[in-house]
Amino acid sequence: MQNPIVVFDLDGTLADTAGDLIATLNVILETENLPPVPLEQARELIGAGAKALIERGFLAHERALTPERHEELFDRFIVHYGNNLRVHSVLFDGIETALDRLEADGWRFAVCTNKIEKHSVKLLELFGIADRFKAICGRDTFPTFKPDPAHLLMTIERAGGDPRRAIMVGDSRTDIDTAKAARIPSIGVPFGYTDVPMHALGADTVIEHFDELYDAVRTIDGGRDRV
Protein backbone atom coordinates (compact mmCIF):
# COMPACT_ATOMS: atom_id res chain seq x y z
CA MET A 1 0.00 0.00 0.00
CA GLN A 2 1.19 3.50 -0.79
CA ASN A 3 1.58 6.21 1.81
CA PRO A 4 -1.28 8.10 3.42
CA ILE A 5 -1.30 11.67 2.19
CA VAL A 6 -2.66 15.09 3.12
CA VAL A 7 -3.14 17.39 0.14
CA PHE A 8 -3.25 21.14 0.76
CA ASP A 9 -4.55 24.06 -1.20
CA LEU A 10 -2.09 26.98 -1.07
CA ASP A 11 -3.66 30.46 -1.16
CA GLY A 12 -5.77 30.92 1.95
CA THR A 13 -4.91 27.47 3.28
CA LEU A 14 -1.16 27.14 3.77
CA ALA A 15 -0.48 30.85 3.47
CA ASP A 16 -2.14 34.24 3.65
CA THR A 17 -1.24 35.56 0.19
CA ALA A 18 -4.03 38.08 -0.30
CA GLY A 19 -1.84 41.15 0.15
CA ASP A 20 0.46 40.29 -2.72
CA LEU A 21 -2.25 38.96 -5.02
CA ILE A 22 -4.46 42.01 -4.60
CA ALA A 23 -1.45 44.35 -4.91
CA THR A 24 -0.63 42.82 -8.29
CA LEU A 25 -4.27 42.96 -9.35
CA ASN A 26 -4.29 46.65 -8.52
CA VAL A 27 -1.19 47.24 -10.65
CA ILE A 28 -3.11 45.67 -13.55
CA LEU A 29 -6.22 47.74 -12.84
CA GLU A 30 -4.13 50.91 -12.74
CA THR A 31 -2.90 50.26 -16.29
CA GLU A 32 -6.55 50.29 -17.34
CA ASN A 33 -7.30 53.51 -15.42
CA LEU A 34 -9.44 51.67 -12.88
CA PRO A 35 -9.36 52.33 -9.12
CA PRO A 36 -7.74 49.77 -6.82
CA VAL A 37 -9.70 46.97 -5.21
CA PRO A 38 -9.64 47.15 -1.38
CA LEU A 39 -7.88 44.27 0.32
CA GLU A 40 -11.13 43.61 2.21
CA GLN A 41 -12.62 42.29 -1.04
CA ALA A 42 -9.98 39.57 -1.30
CA ARG A 43 -12.24 36.84 0.08
CA GLU A 44 -14.67 37.34 -2.80
CA LEU A 45 -12.00 37.48 -5.51
CA ILE A 46 -9.26 34.97 -4.68
CA GLY A 47 -9.49 31.21 -4.99
CA ALA A 48 -9.77 30.24 -8.64
CA GLY A 49 -6.41 31.39 -9.97
CA ALA A 50 -4.97 34.54 -11.50
CA LYS A 51 -7.16 34.59 -14.59
CA ALA A 52 -10.31 34.47 -12.53
CA LEU A 53 -8.89 37.07 -10.15
CA ILE A 54 -8.36 39.50 -13.03
CA GLU A 55 -11.83 38.85 -14.41
CA ARG A 56 -13.43 39.34 -10.99
CA GLY A 57 -11.45 42.52 -10.46
CA PHE A 58 -12.82 43.98 -13.68
CA LEU A 59 -16.34 42.82 -12.92
CA ALA A 60 -16.11 44.66 -9.60
CA HIS A 61 -15.82 47.80 -11.73
CA GLU A 62 -18.48 46.61 -14.18
CA ARG A 63 -15.91 46.30 -16.93
CA ALA A 64 -15.82 43.38 -19.34
CA LEU A 65 -12.67 41.97 -20.93
CA THR A 66 -12.19 40.58 -24.41
CA PRO A 67 -10.44 37.20 -24.44
CA GLU A 68 -7.43 38.78 -26.12
CA ARG A 69 -7.10 41.57 -23.57
CA HIS A 70 -7.63 39.11 -20.74
CA GLU A 71 -4.65 37.07 -21.97
CA GLU A 72 -2.48 40.17 -22.27
CA LEU A 73 -3.28 41.28 -18.74
CA PHE A 74 -2.80 37.75 -17.43
CA ASP A 75 0.73 37.72 -18.90
CA ARG A 76 1.47 41.03 -17.17
CA PHE A 77 0.04 39.73 -13.92
CA ILE A 78 2.24 36.63 -14.03
CA VAL A 79 5.41 38.66 -14.52
CA HIS A 80 4.66 41.23 -11.81
CA TYR A 81 3.39 38.73 -9.27
CA GLY A 82 6.32 36.40 -9.91
CA ASN A 83 8.63 39.22 -8.84
CA ASN A 84 6.57 40.04 -5.75
CA LEU A 85 5.53 36.72 -4.28
CA ARG A 86 6.49 37.32 -0.68
CA VAL A 87 6.22 41.01 0.07
CA HIS A 88 3.27 40.59 2.43
CA SER A 89 2.54 36.84 2.27
CA VAL A 90 3.03 34.68 5.37
CA LEU A 91 2.42 31.08 6.37
CA PHE A 92 -0.54 30.52 8.63
CA ASP A 93 0.41 29.91 12.23
CA GLY A 94 0.99 26.32 13.26
CA ILE A 95 1.38 24.70 9.85
CA GLU A 96 5.00 23.59 10.26
CA THR A 97 4.36 22.00 13.65
CA ALA A 98 1.32 20.22 12.21
CA LEU A 99 3.41 18.85 9.33
CA ASP A 100 6.05 17.64 11.79
CA ARG A 101 3.48 15.72 13.84
CA LEU A 102 1.83 14.11 10.83
CA GLU A 103 5.14 13.25 9.17
CA ALA A 104 6.22 11.45 12.32
CA ASP A 105 3.16 9.22 11.87
CA GLY A 106 4.11 8.38 8.27
CA TRP A 107 1.99 10.92 6.39
CA ARG A 108 3.28 12.58 3.29
CA PHE A 109 2.12 15.88 1.80
CA ALA A 110 1.27 17.49 -1.52
CA VAL A 111 -0.10 20.79 -2.78
CA CYS A 112 -2.99 21.02 -5.24
CA THR A 113 -3.63 24.66 -6.13
CA ASN A 114 -5.06 26.81 -8.92
CA LYS A 115 -1.99 29.02 -8.62
CA ILE A 116 0.40 28.29 -11.49
CA GLU A 117 3.03 25.72 -10.65
CA LYS A 118 6.18 27.86 -10.90
CA HIS A 119 4.75 30.47 -8.55
CA SER A 120 3.61 27.79 -6.12
CA VAL A 121 7.00 26.13 -6.01
CA LYS A 122 8.87 29.43 -5.72
CA LEU A 123 6.65 30.75 -2.94
CA LEU A 124 6.98 27.57 -0.90
CA GLU A 125 10.75 27.71 -1.45
CA LEU A 126 10.75 31.28 -0.14
CA PHE A 127 8.88 30.03 2.92
CA GLY A 128 11.46 27.27 3.30
CA ILE A 129 8.98 24.39 3.17
CA ALA A 130 8.91 23.31 -0.48
CA ASP A 131 10.84 20.14 0.30
CA ARG A 132 8.10 19.04 2.70
CA PHE A 133 5.81 18.26 -0.25
CA LYS A 134 6.20 15.24 -2.52
CA ALA A 135 4.34 17.08 -5.29
CA ILE A 136 3.41 20.73 -5.85
CA CYS A 137 0.81 20.81 -8.60
CA GLY A 138 -0.68 24.00 -9.99
CA ARG A 139 -3.35 25.09 -12.42
CA ASP A 140 -1.05 24.39 -15.36
CA THR A 141 0.56 21.14 -14.16
CA PHE A 142 -2.06 18.88 -15.77
CA PRO A 143 -4.57 19.37 -18.60
CA THR A 144 -7.26 20.10 -16.01
CA PHE A 145 -7.54 21.93 -12.70
CA LYS A 146 -9.82 22.27 -9.67
CA PRO A 147 -12.76 21.79 -9.31
CA ASP A 148 -12.13 18.92 -11.74
CA PRO A 149 -11.41 15.97 -9.42
CA ALA A 150 -8.73 14.73 -11.81
CA HIS A 151 -6.47 17.55 -10.62
CA LEU A 152 -6.58 16.24 -7.06
CA LEU A 153 -6.32 12.58 -8.04
CA MET A 154 -3.34 13.21 -10.34
CA THR A 155 -1.66 15.22 -7.59
CA ILE A 156 -2.06 12.27 -5.21
CA GLU A 157 -0.65 9.92 -7.83
CA ARG A 158 2.33 12.16 -8.56
CA ALA A 159 3.12 12.35 -4.84
CA GLY A 160 2.99 8.58 -4.48
CA GLY A 161 0.03 8.78 -2.14
CA ASP A 162 -2.77 6.31 -1.61
CA PRO A 163 -6.16 7.79 -2.67
CA ARG A 164 -7.84 5.43 -0.19
CA ARG A 165 -5.98 7.25 2.59
CA ALA A 166 -5.93 10.77 1.21
CA ILE A 167 -7.39 13.91 2.79
CA MET A 168 -7.84 17.34 1.19
CA VAL A 169 -7.35 20.54 3.21
CA GLY A 170 -8.75 23.75 1.74
CA ASP A 171 -10.38 27.08 2.37
CA SER A 172 -12.97 27.44 -0.40
CA ARG A 173 -15.94 25.87 -2.16
CA THR A 174 -13.59 24.91 -4.99
CA ASP A 175 -11.49 22.77 -2.65
CA ILE A 176 -14.41 21.09 -0.92
CA ASP A 177 -16.28 20.42 -4.19
CA THR A 178 -13.12 18.98 -5.73
CA ALA A 179 -12.63 16.62 -2.80
CA LYS A 180 -16.27 15.51 -2.91
CA ALA A 181 -16.06 14.80 -6.63
CA ALA A 182 -12.89 12.77 -6.08
CA ARG A 183 -14.50 10.94 -3.13
CA ILE A 184 -11.73 12.18 -0.86
CA PRO A 185 -12.63 13.44 2.64
CA SER A 186 -11.91 17.08 3.31
CA ILE A 187 -10.90 19.39 6.14
CA GLY A 188 -11.96 23.01 5.81
CA VAL A 189 -10.17 26.02 7.25
CA PRO A 190 -12.25 29.18 7.85
CA PHE A 191 -9.40 31.70 7.78
CA GLY A 192 -8.91 31.73 4.00
CA TYR A 193 -10.76 33.18 1.03
CA THR A 194 -14.41 32.31 0.66
CA ASP A 195 -17.55 34.41 0.40
CA VAL A 196 -19.56 31.53 1.91
CA PRO A 197 -18.84 30.43 5.50
CA MET A 198 -16.70 27.30 5.50
CA HIS A 199 -19.13 25.54 7.85
CA ALA A 200 -21.78 25.77 5.10
CA LEU A 201 -19.68 24.11 2.38
CA GLY A 202 -19.94 20.51 3.50
CA ALA A 203 -16.39 19.65 4.51
CA ASP A 204 -16.05 16.51 6.62
CA THR A 205 -14.74 18.67 9.43
CA VAL A 206 -13.60 22.25 9.98
CA ILE A 207 -10.61 23.32 12.05
CA GLU A 208 -10.06 26.80 13.43
CA HIS A 209 -6.26 26.55 13.71
CA PHE A 210 -3.56 24.20 12.43
CA ASP A 211 -3.04 23.03 16.01
CA GLU A 212 -6.21 20.98 15.36
CA LEU A 213 -5.04 19.41 12.09
CA TYR A 214 -3.32 16.35 13.55
CA ASP A 215 -6.35 15.21 15.52
CA ALA A 216 -8.70 15.95 12.59
CA VAL A 217 -6.59 13.84 10.22
CA ARG A 218 -6.36 11.00 12.72
CA THR A 219 -10.12 11.04 13.30
CA ILE A 220 -10.99 10.99 9.59
CA ASP A 221 -8.42 8.33 8.77
CA GLY A 222 -9.41 6.19 11.72
CA GLY A 223 -13.05 6.27 10.71
CA ARG A 224 -12.52 4.86 7.23
CA ASP A 225 -12.92 1.26 6.27
CA ARG A 226 -9.66 -0.34 5.17
CA VAL A 227 -9.76 -2.16 1.84
Residue 122: C-alpha distances to residues 94, 95, 111 (Å): 21, 18, 13
Angstrom distance (rounded) from CA 72 to CA 68: 6
Angstrom distance (rounded) from CA 113 to CA 136: 8
Active site residue 171: no
Which of these is catalytic: 9, 171, 177, 204? 9
Q: Are 135 and 113 in contact (CB under 8 A)?
A: no
Residue 19: C-alpha distances to residues 67, 163, 167, 225 (Å): 26, 34, 28, 42
Preceding omega of 4 cis (within 30 degrees of 0): no
Residues assigned a catalytic role? 9
